[in-house]
Homo-oligomer: A and B are copies of this chain.
């Protein structure tokens, strides 16, 4: 074998051992050798290296069957950290996440929807410093930052191509934030970040084929296929908001007619409600529904129909193992779940229905922050 191949294999073995300890801890060296098929000597060498680098520690002794004491291994959550950032129209959220995926600290501040790009970046930088300081995380343990935001994101070049919600166009977000904070920065669409969290510790755990649908001020979806984010040719795969349901329907701000978003986004619900009543927020519509006002029932009834149709259509195209429904509409108006489920039952094609699990996200408002931090860890952590 070439020397380079040997180095590569060494690295892969080390990654594998660490991954096994992370997944199955507490675990003994012996068991790792069994699972991997590597020799006890190799395992001992790798574990020693990982121990020196701070990734692994020894935990309690347990008595194995034959009376010998076995030392068990565990990973150290505090060996490194990444920071997750969620940017939205009117809120900025930042969380520090440790190596084993725990949010050790999280804070949010409001954002003015009309606020300038530089101003938002300043807020992010300050909040990040504050958070790091108050939690006493040493800067050298932070390997990078992940940012999730709505819009079309060129994740490879770190550029926000367009974000209607933030009113940004062609901004070099990753580079600018890197300059301000000193950390390496990875950016991506918020739902793509969120599904990473679902895939690692949420409802799509251990799922090879999963879809996450987001229903709120924007409408979109993200897809895990064969265990990886599926992006399509220009990172736009999953843009269900602009699938057309009715060629004679509502005009959409994208210039087409009958896009799904024009039936189920918060903006659509609000603007329809205003045809009836002088309403200022989506919560008022939900409250009107709760107090039995027929116009609100009509509008939200139609919303649930189109959400169920969207789910049905996604299932026909992707045939996933699990579909996770998330977003502020579902969070703030959980009553809609029952209507969605009833209609899903009617609208989903039988051969697909048999196989799929339809579930709701329970990562709630921390999903994007967690996913962004985990994705930063995935892409930035390089074992020496």
Give residues in A with beta carbon < 8 Å to B: 1, 152, 161-162, 209, 221, 225-226, 230-240, 242-247, 254-256, 305-306, 309, 312-314, 316-321, 346-347, 349-352, 354-356
Contacts and interface: CB of A to CB of B under 8 A. Distances in A.
Contact of A234 (B230, B235, B347, B355): B355
19 contacts: A232-B318, A233-B319, A233-B320, A233-B355, A233-B356, A236-B316, A236-B355, A237-B318, A240-B317, A242-B349, A243-B312, A243-B316, A244-B245, A245-B246, A246-B246, A256-B347, A256-B349, A314-B317, A317-B317
Given A152-B351, A239-B316, A351-B152, A232 B209 contact: yes
Contacts of A305: 247
Given A234-B352, A355-B234, A313 B316 contact: no
Nearest to A37: B2
A244 B312 contact: yes
B351 A317 contact: no
Contacts of A244: 245, 309, 312-313, 347
B233 A351 contact: no
A346 B256 contact: yes
Given A321-B233, A349-B254, A243 B152 contact: no
Nearest to A210: B233
B233 A316 contact: no
A342 B356 CA distance: 37
A312 B356 CA distance: 25
A178 to B, nearest CB: 25
Contact of A231 (B1, B237, B319, B349): B319
Contacts of A317: 221, 237-240, 243, 314, 317-318
A354 B154 CA distance: 14
A239 B353 CA distance: 13
A120 to B, nearest CB: 23
Given A237-B317, A245-B246, A246-B246, 8 more contacts: A162-B351, A231-B319, A233-B320, A238-B317, A242-B349, A243-B312, A243-B313, A256-B349
A350 B316 contact: no
Contacts of A356: 233
Listed from nearest, the 9 A-B pairs whose CB atoms lie closest are A232-B319, A237-B319, A243-B313, A242-B349, A236-B319, A234-B355, A239-B316, A233-B321, A243-B316
A242 B236 CA distance: 23
A247 B239 CA distance: 21
Nearest to A350: B254
A249 B355 CA distance: 26
Contacts of A234: 319, 351-352, 354-355
A309 B233 contact: no
Nearest to A207: B233
Nearest to A259: B349
